[in-house]
């Protein structure tokens, strides 16, 4: 009996800080807080009032494979956000935005692969609390490659 070798994908993950809301232009947020986002969606800036669409502003870490350490990824974001915390709080209030710290994980189905710990350091949780952000963790299982 012959078993075909299958290669299993490694764990992957990234962390991001995002702002979302209706009727705002992400470029305004970039200008007001002075941080460059990694991704924006300006759909809400031109949305009709009767059919509001959400705009987003997002700053993300690189996607990391293999040794995924959520503590390290979120700490990297915290260090970038902390210096402009007051500006972020101002734009959240002035533009009625919803702040979020997000983690996206793709977990390997390889039994030998360690499942990454998901946790947040005190510095990160304190900052997210001061900003009023919620924390969201999304995960899915990897496919065979």
> DSSP of 22-75, one letter per residue?
ES--HHHHHHHH----SEEE-GGGG--TTS--EEEEEEEPPPEESS--HHHHHH
Question: Residues of the chain with pLDDT > 90: what percent?
Answer: 61
pLDDT of residue 3: 44
The per-residue pLDDT for range 101-132, each reduced to its tens digit, is 999 998 887 777 777 888 899 999 999 999 99
Kindly tell me if the per-residue pLDDT of 38 is higher than 60.
Answer: yes
Q: Does any domain span residue 84?
A: yes
Q: Does any domain span residue 1?
A: no
Q: Does any domain span residue 91?
A: yes
pTM metric for this prediction = 0.85
Q: Does any domain span residue 3?
A: no
Task: Give the structural domain span for 124.
Answer: 12-141
How many domains does the chain fold into?
1
Strand partners, 21: 55
Q: Does any domain span residue 74?
A: yes
């Amino acid at each position: 009996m012959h078993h075909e070798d299958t290669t299993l994908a490694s764990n992957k993950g990234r962390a991001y800080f995002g702002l979302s809301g209706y009727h705002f232009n992400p470029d305004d947020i970039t200008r007001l807080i002075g941080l460059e986002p990694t991704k924006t969606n300006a759909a809400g800036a031109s949305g009709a009032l009767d059919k509001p669409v959400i705009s987003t502003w997002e700053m993300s870490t690189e996607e990391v494979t293999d040794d995924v350490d959520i503590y390290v990824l979120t700490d990297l974001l915290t260090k970038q956000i902390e210096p402009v915390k007051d500006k972020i709080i101002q734009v959240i209030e002035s533009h009625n935005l919803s702040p979020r710290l997000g983690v996206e994980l793709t977990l390997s189905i390889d039994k030998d692969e360690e499942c990454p710990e998901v946790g947040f350091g005190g510095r990160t949780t304190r900052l997210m609390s001061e900003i009023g952000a919620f924390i969201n963790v999304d995960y899915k299982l990897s496919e065979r490659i």
